[in-house]
Amino acid sequence: MAESTSPIIDLHNVSVTFQSNGKSLHAVDQVNLQIQPGDIYGIIGYSGAGKSTLVRTINLLQQPTSGTVTVSGKDLQKLSNPQLRTARKKIGMIFQHFNLLNSRTVLNNVEYPLLSQSISKAKRQAKAKKLLELVGLGEFEKSYPEQLSGGQKQRVAIARALANDPDILVSDEATSALDPKTTNDILKLLKQLNETLGLTIVLITHEMQVIKSVCHHVAVMDQGKIIERGEVAEVFSDPKQPLTQNFVDSSANVTEALDQIKSDSSLQDLSANERLLFLKFRGRATKQSLISDLTELYKLKANILFGNIERIGSTSIGYLIIILSGETKQLADGINFLNQNGVRVRLIATGKKGVKQDVKTNIS
């Protein structure tokens, strides 16, 4: 990850420790994170992983217990209060529950960040109107937030976050309260802002879909630590950590399918020459006709119970759950053949009088 430009966000050894009932909770544990200008950086993890706490250190809404936070070359912890407030104006933030001001109209909400600047009301409102048009809500300026849908509220929040012309936009689960279609629209908007304004976006989510559709880089967080990171396609096409794998699998509905198949009692009565297998194709394996080859070369029959292809960047990951049947010797050879061609094979169940031992050696 050696990049030539200097990072716009540089978290160095950041830890946040909360004390509760005499116990210390390491919400963020020694995290190092560098984000380049113009990047869309996703941080994914389940709730409680410390993502929110981590991104809140970027504008010091959360003071780190230790470590340094450098944004746009400035060490934020060394700034005075007024200097920190000025620095915060260049870091926009949007939230899961929008956090709009219900007592103000949509236009006044967008205007709010500009109130502390010494510009005329006319100029202020003109800018707010322009921002509302940018997010596609030009005609809603006189409405109140309560009259808008979730997606519209988030657009207002985005317009408000852009009012101070920030360099960075931090998105804290901004699409988690929205339906899938609205989520897509908001993500498209973020992508567009990244491309047109050169906005650096830091986005936290628990949804793999969100990361896949907009992020360039991703960090996977668990128990306060970043356990895996890199380019989105790289990390998700070849996950090193079980948690990362978990995100990929559940995104492709594999976890669900496996559970269903395992609990299906009719599949428990496999005959001796049947194997219930879970196959994962990656890289070149996705471009070959391996299943047909099994039939041709080893006289094996494949009954497909589930199949899906997950596209991540330019790579695809294929999932198949099949019942493979044929001669015992052929079965072992067939599984070996799959293994040699880069398919990861997992045996889920075997026929009652099955020769598990034979097969086992070939299974990774």
Binding residues (CB under 8 A) for another protein: these are 59, 61, 82, 84-89, 91-93, 95, 97, 99-105, 112-113, 115-116, 144, 146-147, 157, 160-161, 163-164, 170
User: Is 103 or 364 the residue whose CB approaches another protein more closely?
Assistant: 103
By beta-carbon proximity to another protein, the closer residue of 62 and 350 is 62
Q: For another protein, which is the closer residue by CB, 41 or 98?
A: 98
At residue 357, the 3 state secondary structure works out as helix
Pairing of strands 343-350, 315-325: unpaired
Smallest gap from Cβ 207 to another protein, in A, equals 20
The tokens for 33 are 């994170």
Nearest approach, Cβ of residue 158 and another protein (Å): 12
Q: In the complex, what is the shortest distance from the CB of residue 198 to another protein, in angstroms, rounded to a whole number?
A: 20
Looking at residue 69, its amino acid is V
Give me the least distance between CB of 116 and another protein, in Å please.
6
Please report which helix (H) or strand (E) contains residue 133, including its range. Answer: helix 121-134
**Gap between the Cα atoms of 182 and 125, Å rounded:** 27
Minimal distance, residue 88 CB to another protein, in Å? 4
Q: Which is nearer to another protein, 93 or 187 (CB)?
A: 93
Q: Which is nearer to another protein, 155 or 160 (CB)?
A: 160
CB of 155 to another protein, least distance (A): 15
Nearer to another protein, 142 or 353 (CB): 142
Residue 329 to residues 132, 270, 274, 332, Cα–Cα distance (Å): 68, 17, 12, 5
d(CA 112, CA 235): 40
Q: For residues 225 and 14, what is the distance between their CA atoms, to the nearest angstrom?
A: 10
User: In whole angstroms, how close is the CB of 28 to another protein at the nearest point?
Assistant: 18
Strands 274-282 and 343-350, sheet pairing:
antiparallel
Q: Of 26, 30, 49, which Cα lies nearest the Cα of 246?
A: 49
CB of 189 to another protein, least distance (A): 19
Tokens of 136: 């596609």
Contacts for 78-84: CB closer than 8 Å, 24+ residues apart: 84/60
User: Which is closer to another protein, CB of 112 or CB of 306?
Assistant: 112
- 174, with CB counted inside 10 A (0-12, 13-18, 19+), is buried
CA-wise closest residue to 352 among 289, 267, 277:
267
Nearer to another protein, 99 or 125 (CB): 99
- Taking 3-state DSSP, the helix, strand and coil percentages for the chain, each rounded to the nearest 5, stand at 40, 30, 30
